[in-house]
C-alpha cells in the first residue's frame, strides 16, 4: 500500500450505554465519518482489560480508541472510574513497548453526543493516519508473552 493511500485500522472499545449509543445517534443523525473504525461493544469501560489493547496492536491494529461514559455518569456507578485508573497504566505500558501514545486514545462520549463522537473518531483516524502503518507488532509479540491466537 502506498504511503499516501494508507488507511489505518482502528479498533474502538466502547461501552454499551454511553459511547455505543452516542455512535448510534451519530448514525441516526446521518453524521458522516471516515470508515476506518470498528467498534467492539462491551458493557462498560470497566470491562476493558489492558490485554485487549495489546491484543489489538499485536494483531495489526494501527490505532485503538477506548471510550465510555463521562466521569460520574457511569451506568454502573464506578466502572469507568476503575477504567480511568487503569488508563494511566496503559500509557506506561505503551511507553515500555515503544508504541507511540498517538496510537492509543481515550475519550468520553455520552449517549447524546453524536457530534462529539464524529469529532473524536475522525480525530483519532487522522492522528493515526499521520503515524503511518503500525509495524512493530512483531516486536511486541517477541517482547510480551501473550500468545497470539
**Chain contacts with other proteins (rule: CB under 8 A):** 7, 9, 11, 20-21, 23-24, 26-28, 30-33, 35, 38-44, 46-52, 55-56, 59-61, 73, 75-79, 82-83, 86, 106-108, 137, 149
For other proteins, the closer of residues 3 and 147 by Cβ is 147
Are residues 83 and 105 in contact, defined by beta-carbon separation less than 8 angstroms?
A: no
Give ∠ CA 82-131-121 in degrees, rounded to 5: 50
What's the farthest any 2 CA atoms get from each other in the chain?
46
Taking the complex as a whole, the smallest distance from the CB of residue 55 to other proteins amounts, in Å, to 5
Taking the complex as a whole, the smallest distance from the CB of residue 135 to other proteins amounts, in Å, to 11
Taking the complex as a whole, the smallest distance from the CB of residue 76 to other proteins amounts, in Å, to 4
Taking the complex as a whole, the smallest distance from the CB of residue 18 to other proteins amounts, in Å, to 12
Describe the strand order of the beta sheet including 63-68 as a list of residue ranges.
37-42, 10-15, 63-68, 104-108
DSSP 105-143: EEEE--TT-HHHHHHHHHHHHHHHHHH----THHHHHHH
For other proteins, the closer of residues 73 and 100 by Cβ is 73
For other proteins, the closer of residues 3 and 30 by Cβ is 30
Phi, psi of 64 (to 5 degrees): -130, 140
Taking the complex as a whole, the smallest distance from the CB of residue 43 to other proteins amounts, in Å, to 5
Amino acid at each position: 500500500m502506498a504511503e499516501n493511500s494508507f488507511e489505518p485500522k482502528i479498533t474502538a472499545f466502547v461501552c454499551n450505554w454511553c459511547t455505543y449509543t452516542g455512535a448510534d445517534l451519530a448514525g441516526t443523525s446521518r453524521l458522516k465519518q471516515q470508515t476506518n473504525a470498528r467498534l467492539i461493544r462491551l458493557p462498560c469501560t470497566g470491562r476493558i482489560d489492558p490485554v485487549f489493547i495489546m491484543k489489538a496492536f499485536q494483531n495489526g491494529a494501527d490505532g485503538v480508541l477506548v471510550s465510555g461514559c463521562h466521569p460520574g455518569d457511569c451506568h454502573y456507578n464506578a466502572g469507568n472510574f476503575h477504567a480511568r485508573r487503569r488508563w494511566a497504566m496503559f500509557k506506561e505500558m505503551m511507553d515500555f513497548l515503544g508504541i507511540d501514545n498517538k496510537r492509543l486514545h481515550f475519550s468520553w462520549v455520552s449517549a447524546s453526543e453524536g457530534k462529539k463522537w464524529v469529532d473524536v473518531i475522525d480525530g483519532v483516524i487522522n492522528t493515526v493516519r499521520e503515524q503511518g502503518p503500525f509495524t512493530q507488532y512483531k516486536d511486541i509479540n517477541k517482547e510480551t508473552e501473550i500468545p497470539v491466537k
